[in-house]
A = this chain, B = another copy of it.
Amino acid sequence: MAPFVSGMALAEIAALMGDVARANILSALMDGRALTASELAWHGGVSAQTTSGHLARLSEARLIAMTKQGRHRYYRLASSEVAQAIETLMAVASSGPKRHRPVGPKDEALRRARTCYDHLAGRLGIALADALTLQDYLVLSDGAGALTEKGQRFLCAFGIELEEGHRSKRTLCRTCLDWSERRPHLAGRLGAALCTKMFDLGWVERVRDSRALAITTKGRGGLRSTFGIEIE
């Protein structure tokens, strides 16, 4: 008899991601925010009823989680593990044969800057990782990164607190393969903190109905003076 055991489990999860509507829903949730069912219906490109069914199935499989709030229901990815699985799949997908890849303006915006779960990705994410490495603030080796003394002082001066969550088991800094740039960007607590800071400083803003980020004028200046980064 064939070893159906692990194949079945793999197929179940993959099949859930293998439907265009559901894939679009998951893709929309990849920015780490929680979205309402109606918003997800829009992203999925299907009716509310259909979406409801999809969301139920994704919830049951623990790929997403739900919170009720008033008459809304907010859905989010269940864990960073799920996010990582999706990102890894996207990396494989984008490395595949060049299909009809229309590369519209939306796609270009995503490639410039976007959120990846809770951290920054796209050219911006890559540039940040490069800048920190180049200045000897960070040493990247394989899948992980370690802050130097110099880097810790720099980040502290920049207003990023990393010690608070020290008891947290979450990795300080790991890399995450960027599907558009095909190179690793920064994830982990450091990646999340950088992302949050950029928002707080008003350097980046979310683009409506997209995971893409817009770099503000203030952000353009700040990125140049603080990190020596020039996007575009």
A-to-B contact residues, CB < 8 Å: 2-20, 22-24, 26-28, 42-45, 60-63, 81-82, 84-86, 88-97, 99, 102, 104, 106-107, 110, 141-146, 171-175, 179, 188, 209-210
Contacts and interface: CB of A to CB of B under 8 A. Distances in A.
Contact of A142 (B3, B8, B145): B145
A89 B143 contact: no
A53 to B, nearest CB: 16
A18 to B, nearest CB: 3
Nearest to A87: B88
Contact of A2 (B44, B60, B144): B44
29 contacts: A2-B209, A3-B209, A5-B110, A6-B179, A7-B27, A7-B43, A8-B20, A9-B93, A10-B17, A10-B26, A10-B86, A11-B18, A11-B19, A12-B18, A12-B93, A14-B15, A14-B18, A14-B23, A15-B15, A15-B18, A15-B19, A62-B95, A62-B97, A63-B92, A81-B88, A85-B92, A141-B146, A142-B173, A144-B144
A96 B15 CA distance: 14
Contacts of A91: 81, 85
Instruction: Please tell me how many copies of the chain the complex holds.
Output: 2
A6 B116 CA distance: 13
Contacts of A84: 88
A90 B6 contact: yes
Contacts of A14: 14-18, 23, 89
A8 B106 CA distance: 14
Nearest to A17: B14
Given A85-B89, A188-B142, A18 B20 contact: no
Contacts of A146: 141
Contacts of A6: 27, 90, 107, 110, 179
Contacts of A90: 6, 9-10
Contacts of A19: 11, 15
B42 A2 contact: yes
A157 to B, nearest CB: 24
